[in-house]
Amino acid sequence: MSPPEDTLIPESGGVSRRGFLGEALKLLAREAAGMLADRVAPRRHFRPPGALPEAGFLAACTRCGYCVEACPVDAIVTAPPHAGLAAGTPVVEPLSQPCVVCEGMFCAAVCPTGALVPPLEGWAHEKMGSLALDTERCITFQGIECGVCARVCPVGPEALDLDQQGRPVIRDGCVGCGVCVRACVTSPSSLLLTIAES
């Protein structure tokens, strides 16, 4: 005779079979919802720091414009009408005016709905974009001194540094703000910024 469903299973640390299955189903539902949200509302824009994952961001953002007004360098603009679900939401266009990684993260601090939330650890784990270096285009790999990208980086050597030969090295501290991309002396830029995954 099999035990009742809510019988404790000793090896599971006192969790009932029903409780275990319930938690497993919740986890599965969250994962499925996340995958569905990524398909329905994939991230197609650079968002201000502290942005929720895209589906949640689109649901929470009221298009109030407070973050646009709060940005000290006017890096945040609103997505155009043809942007679909994202129309009117705040975006950053790094090639026009990148985020300068201000310490106050004013845009997230003024958000009244929680679409932007200042991370507890500030910029430590924030990723607006993902940076890559085209070594064939970068002039330092041809023996020409430069280092502009590392000098303009608002985060510093923990994000973008130069090796012993004066060539750029992208580090884990890079937040993907785009300042270096815009400052690069090659045309097109030797640094490529792509939208970070939600």
Tell me what pLDDT residue 44 has. 84
CATH level 2 (architecture), domain 127-195? 2-Layer Sandwich (3.30)
Residue of 175, 172, 164, 168 lying closest to 191 (CA atoms): 168
Beta bridge partners of 193: 131
**pLDDT, tens only, 173-185:** 999 999 999 999 9
Q: What percent of the chain has pLDDT over 70?
A: 78
Q: Where are the domains of the chain?
A: 41-122, 127-195
* Mean predicted confidence (pLDDT) in 35-50: 71
What confidence tier does 6 reach under pLDDT thresholds 50, 70, 90? very low
| Strand spans (E) along the chain | 76-78, 90-92, 129-133, 160-162, 168-170, 191-195
**Domain spanning 41-122: CATH 3.40.50.80:** no
**Distance in angstroms (rounded) separating the CA atoms of residues 23 and 48:** 34
Same fold, 41-122 and 127-195: yes
Q: What stretches of 12-158 show up as alpha helix (H) in DSSP?
A: 17-40, 54-60, 66-70, 106-110, 148-152
Alpha-carbon dihedral angle through residues 125, 66, 78, 194, given to the nearest 10 degrees: -10
What confidence tier does 8 reach under pLDDT thresholds 50, 70, 90? very low
Q: What percent of the chain has pLDDT over 90?
A: 73
